[in-house]
Amino acid sequence: MGKKAGGYIVKNFIRMLTFLLAVSAASFFLLSLSPIDPLKSNVGQAALGTMSEEQIARLEAYWGVGIPAGKRFLAWLSGVLRGDLGISLLYRQPVLSVIREKAANSVWLMGAAWLFSGVLGVFLGTAAGAKKGKWQDKAITAYCMITAGTPAFWLALLLLLVFAVQFPIFPIGFSVPVGVAVSEVTLSERLSHAFLPALALGLTGVSNIAMHTRSKMIEIMESEYVLYARARGERGWPLILGHGLRNLLLPVITLQFGSISEIFGGSVLVEEVFSYPGLGQAAITAGLGSDVPLLLGITLISAALVFLGNLTADLLYLAVDPRMRRERRKEAERRNTHGGR
């Protein structure tokens, strides 16, 4: 058994490496296509006109102008393999330390939104599924349809408008109060700065998980064991919690681990609205300012996160659901017997 698990880990580690290699090659290729001149967009046409040839040459060397893309990619890749993602051109710091600093902020935001959308989604989905066809179900389904069509950044703007401008309950932006040393920031200050962005992200992220929970719940409510439980006299929430929630929690948690990509994508937009200095905003700054190393670094890190999220989902399924284990074994046997073709 231990040997099998080891093999599984090694296999997925190799899968992850090839995936990340493909991601870096693809994103490097895309960025190298760009007709944008990093000098013009960052230094400005006017300033370039006043500079000497020598200064321009030095700037070109700094921004990597004129070096063939293939050569740059190999240089970058060999750095990455040594754990060096290069130097961010805008922040003038190693990419890794920029990412570490920004990720520390994003973790609060994305973690809160992830938990919030998960818990609310499961609750709404369970309630809707248990009351299928009643007004509660219709209201929740309508809410999910509308939020699925609502851009997270617009909801963020509305929340900002109501809770930070009209009724100044929450701060307008940033991840910590302005002018306070990092060491003196309290947990409650961090949370109150992350609250509105996380709410915007969580409220729009709910619909997917709620709708999945709902259909699963409907399936469960029609099952024979629920019929039997009803016949024994179980009613209301104890029935829903004891027989429904227990059975649907696992697929739902799995789904939530697979939704990291969406949360990350949404956080890019929401961070922009709240000037929240996280990974998403760093990605925007990097994209607008032609900071290729930083953009590549963020892409690589986020792709790794998404991969790990999906892997966790798979592993959870395997670990907890005995049916999946059996199916995998069967599949493996089938492959062994027919593999020689």
Partner 1 sequence: MAGDRRFRFWNLRRKTIAAAGLSFGLLIFTAVLGHIWMEDAMVTDFSRKNLSPCLSYPFGTDWLGRDMIKRTAAGLSMSIRLGAVTAGASAVIAVILGTAAAVFGKTADRLISALINLIQGIPHMLLLILISYGMGKGFRGAAVGIALTHWPSLARLMRAEVLQLKTSQYVKISEKLGMGPVQIALEHMLPHLFPQFITGLVLLFPHAILHEAGITFLGFGLSMEQPAVGIILSESMTYLMTGKWWLAVFPGAALVLVVLLFEGLGQSLRSLLDPGSAHE
Query: In sequence order, which residues have a C-beta less than 8 Å from that of residue 75 and are 6 or more positions away?
Result: none
Question: Helix or strand or coil: residue 260?
Answer: helix
Least distance from C-beta 52 to partner 1, angstroms? 28
Least distance from C-beta 39 to partner 1, angstroms? 15
177 versus 287: smaller Cβ distance to partner 1: 287
Site for partner 1 in 23-42 (CB under 8 A): 23, 26-27, 29-36
The pair of structure tokens assigned to 135 is 């007004």
The pair of structure tokens assigned to 142 is 């309508």
Least distance from C-beta 91 to partner 1, angstroms? 17
158 binds partner 1 (CB under 8 A): yes
The pair of structure tokens assigned to 38 is 């990093």
192 binds partner 1 (CB under 8 A): no
Give CA–CA dist 166/153, Å, rounded. Answer: 18
Alpha helices by DSSP H, listed for the chain, are 2-33, 38-42, 45-49, 53-63, 69-81, 95-130, 135-148, 152-160, 187-221, 224-231, 236-239, 246-257, 260-273, 279-288, 292-320, 322-338
- Given a contact cutoff of 8 angstroms between Cβ atoms, the answer to whether 186 and 212 are in contact is no
48 versus 148: smaller Cβ distance to partner 1: 148
Using CB under 8 A, which of 109, 130, 159, 160 touches partner 1? 160
6 binds partner 1 (CB under 8 A): no
Which value, to the nearest 10 degrees, does the dihedral of the CA atoms of residues 76, 82, 86, 92 take?
A: -170
Site for partner 1 in 40-79 (CB under 8 A): none
Least distance from C-beta 269 to partner 1, angstroms? 5
Using CB under 8 A, which of 140, 211, 226, 283 touches partner 1? 283
90 versus 157: smaller Cβ distance to partner 1: 157
Site for partner 1 in 240-269 (CB under 8 A): 261-262, 264-266, 268-269
The span from the first CA to the last CA of the chain, in angstroms, equals: 28
Q: Near partner 1 by CB under 8 A, which window of 16-24, 184-192, 219-227, 236-244?
A: 16-24
26 versus 320: smaller Cβ distance to partner 1: 26
Least distance from C-beta 263 to partner 1, angstroms? 8
Sign of the Cα torsion 89, 93, 96, 100 reads negative
220 versus 273: smaller Cβ distance to partner 1: 273
Cα separation values, 241 from 130, 187, 215, Å:
10, 33, 16
Least distance from C-beta 153 to partner 1, angstroms? 6
Using CB under 8 A, which of 153, 195, 257, 276 touches partner 1? 153
Give CA–CA dist 256/110, Å, rounded. Answer: 12
Taking alpha carbons only, the member of 276, 264, 280, 282 closest to residue 160 is 276
Give CA–CA dist 13/166, Å, rounded. Answer: 50
235 versus 335: smaller Cβ distance to partner 1: 335
- Output the DSSP codes for 260-294: HHHHHHHHHHHHHHTT--SHHHHHHHHHHTT-HHH
Least distance from C-beta 303 to partner 1, angstroms? 5
178 binds partner 1 (CB under 8 A): no
Site of interaction with partner 1 (CB under 8 A)? 19, 22-23, 26-27, 29-36, 145-146, 148-151, 153-154, 157-158, 160-161, 165-166, 172, 261-262, 264-266, 268-269, 272-273, 280, 283-284, 287-288, 290, 295, 298-299, 302-303, 306-307
